[in-house]
Amino acid sequence: MEHYSVDYVVVGAGVVGIAIARQLALQGREVWVLEAAREVGSETSSRNSEVIHAGIYYPQDSLKARLCVSGRRKLYSYCEQKAVPHKRCGKLIVATNEQQVDTLGAILKKGQANGVEGLEIISQPQLFALEPELNALAAIWSPETGIIDSHQLMVQLQTDAENSGAQFVLNTPVLSGEVNISGEGSRSEIELLVGKEEPFKLTTQCLVNSAGLDAVALLKNIKHFPEEHIPHFYMAKGNYFSLPRKAPFNHLIYPVPEEGGLGVHLTLDMAGQARFGPDVEWIKNKYYPVESARMNGFEDAIKRYWPTMPQGELQPAYAGIRPKLSGPGEPAADFIIQDETVHGVKGLINLMGIESPGLTSCLALAEEVAERV
């Protein structure tokens, strides 16, 4: 069996793994990115809302709050610098009943505490001027929210990484690993079994586990990793439906958040096409097809803020799966970035539960990881 040795190994070429590889390569480190699929970014990173989140909803001082706000600022300036298609179109979080109007106040406070710029509550007449088709009593206006072409972002990040020497090894899953601690106080070495038809061994001093939906499963296959640091893992599918014509909105429209997600919202892609979703469907196994039977639930949710929506026109579009560290009914968990100070294994960094706002946070997550390695 072939045996290779590389200083830094990143598992998973989603937007987060690619951004980490780029950051490490820019610092002059030798990096390989191992990706199970035949192409980069084919899982959650290409199955999301492509929204650049402002950072409103997350508990103050959480990783999600901190990395979303700083990641968003970094992402806008990166997109401007590298001409990655994006649009700072702004978003409205709408209250459709009196109870939700009270909730808006709490959401606004949270966002302001997180340092989100420009948030304000706007009244019904102001809303009507912005979006005449919208039915709502009041809304939060978030001018910093935007949309991005996530594929172009990944292409650009990968180009930067490769230009700085990172190697992307596709169709090459990491199957298992073993931590070898070589003497007191010295570095541990991680040996990986890698590949499909002709597996090979790969030794590294630094492993970044950025395997998204499989990050927790991968950890279970790393011998000598302390079990007590393997979190519970859940999956919540988010289905999307699209409208085969232009919707009469110019901003992103979000209801007040629901358990497990942000509610069935309206987002626009870079071409102005509207899509609705994601809902929250707890699942046990990965399953991407969108069942058309869910359309009625979508129509009910959308009609609360767009009462004149044409009936029966929605079409099943696509779905993504949220890697969750909290189950149904539990409070939302934060991102986990686990390093030696937590689990005691030198040179191993695990990223787990990187659900939304992971796309927005990718550059900040990458800097955070690069600081810790």
- The minimum distance between CB 132 and ligand FAD, in angstroms, equals 26
Can you read off the two tokens belonging to residue 38? 């035949």
Which is nearer to ligand FAD, 72 or 110 (by Cβ)? 72
Smallest gap from Cβ 264 to ligand FAD, in A, equals: 11
- 138 or 281: CB nearest ligand FAD: 281
Residues making up the chain, counted from first to last? 373
Instruction: Give the Å distances, CA to CA, from 221 to 27, 165, 195, 226, 346.
Output: 30, 29, 15, 11, 17
Of the pair 36, 253, the CB lying nearest ligand FAD is at 36
For 83, the 3-state DSSP assignment is coil
* CB of 122 vs ligand FAD, minimal distance in Å: 22
Closest distance to ligand FAD from the beta carbon of 225 (Å)? 14
Q: Among residues 37 and 101, whose Cβ is nearest to ligand FAD?
A: 37
Rounded-to-integer distance, Cα 197 and Cα 336, Å? 33
Q: What are φ and ψ of residue 77, in 5° steps? A: -70, -35
Distance CA 254, CA 105 (A): 15
| Largest Cα–Cα separation, the chain | 70
Q: Which is nearer to ligand FAD, 44 or 188 (CB)?
A: 44
What does the alpha-carbon distance between residue 291 and residue 239 come to, in Å, rounded to a whole number?
9
CB of 126 to ligand FAD, least distance (A): 25
Pairwise CA distance, residues 172 & 313, whole Å: 41
Q: Which residue of the chain is nearest ligand FAD when measured via CB?
A: 358
Residue 318 tokens read as 């696509």
List residues near ligand FAD by CB under 6 A: 11-17, 34-37, 41-45, 48-51, 53, 173-174, 210-214, 218, 238, 278, 320-322, 354-360
H helix or E strand, kind and range, residue 92: strand 91-95
Q: Name the residue nearer to ligand FAD (CB basis): 138 or 209.
A: 209
| Nearest of 47, 14, 41, 42 to residue 238 by alpha carbon | 47
Cβ distance to ligand FAD smaller for residue 138 or 214: 214
**Shortest reach from residue 72's CB to ligand FAD, in Å:** 9
- Cα 250 off chain centre by: 24
Comparing CA positions, the residue from 29, 361, 2 lying closest to residue 167 is 29
**Distance in Å, CB of 30 to ligand FAD, minimum:** 18
Nearer to ligand FAD, 138 or 216 (CB): 216
Specify the residue, 12 or 347, whose C-beta has the smaller distance to ligand FAD: 12
C-alpha span between 312 and 347 (Å, rounded): 53
CB of 13 to ligand FAD, least distance (A): 5
Residues 334-366 as b/e (b if ≥16 CB within 10 A, e otherwise) read: bbbbbbeeebebbbbbbbbbbbbbbbbbbbbbb
Q: Give the strand pairing for 174-181 and 188-194.
A: antiparallel
Minimum separation from the CB atom of position 148 to ligand FAD (A): 8
